[in-house]
């Protein structure tokens, strides 16, 4: 595995995070288990995972960068390009769809003035589709930073956006 003193975390992980991941990776038979954890930590610190983050993850875990990239581009909760402060994943699974996620999506688009994959001009929101959030009992649902909201109705959308705007300005 990687030696801590040889790794430059390029500001994507702090020294403690770096040391913890290196120590944990050294204990694992299959360091692939940590890919998502490292990528999430980088994303939490940086807002998204640049190429340097993929390379850093590979170095920490003793993997080839392509092994990390394959997972990073497959998993839709890892952002490989800049996103807004509040990425909004709208579930479009059959449960959410049959409970009104299409109407919810249109309401988000209308209120934010964006389409899927776009970020609002103020840099606060990016609207993203998600094939399943795993909260079918709360359909229709959205996820913002690992927090689920649902079931939502059309009125809830404006309240949620306003709450997040207030949070951003606090």
**Structural domain that includes position 142:** 86-169
In a domain, residue 135? The reply is yes
Average of per-residue pLDDT across 106-127: 97
Cα separation, 170 vs 167, whole angstroms: 5
Residues 6 or more apart whose CB falls under 8 angstroms from that of 81 comprise 48
Residue 124: pLDDT band with limits 50, 70, 90: very high
Give the tokens for residue 86: 């509040």
Is the previous residue joined to 167 through a cis bond, with omega within 30 degrees of 0? no
CA end-to-end distance (rounded Å), the chain: 42
Q: Are residues 70 and 91 in the same domain?
A: no
Q: Are residues 66 and 135 in the same domain?
A: no
Residue 2: pLDDT band with limits 50, 70, 90: very low
Q: How far is CA 6 from CA 18, 19, 23, 58, in A?
A: 11, 11, 14, 13
Rg (CA), the chain: 18
- Residue appearing with tokens 């692939």: 32
Residue 4: pLDDT band with limits 50, 70, 90: very low
């Amino acid at each position: 595995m990687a030696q801590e003193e040889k790794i430059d975390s390029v500001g994507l992980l702090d020294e403690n995070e770096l040391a913890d991941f290196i120590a944990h990776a050294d204990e694992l038979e299959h360091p692939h288990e940590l890919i998502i954890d490292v990528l999430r930590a980088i994303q939490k610190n940086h807002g998204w995972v640049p190429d340097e983050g993929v390379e850093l993850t590979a170095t920490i875990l003793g993997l080839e960068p392509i092994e990390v990239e394959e997972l990073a581009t497959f998993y839709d909760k890892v952002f490989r390009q800049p996103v807004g402060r509040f990425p909004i994943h709208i579930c479009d699974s059959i449960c959410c769809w049959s409970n009104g996620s299409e109407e919810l999506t249109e309401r988000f688009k209308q209120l934010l003035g964006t389409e899927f994959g776009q970020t609002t001009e103020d840099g606060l929101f990016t609207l993203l589709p998600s094939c399943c959030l795993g909260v079918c009992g709360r359909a229709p649902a959205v996820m913002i930073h690992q927090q689920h909201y649902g079931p939502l109705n059309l009125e809830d959308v404006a309240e949620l956006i306003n709450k997040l705007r207030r949070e951003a300005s606090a």
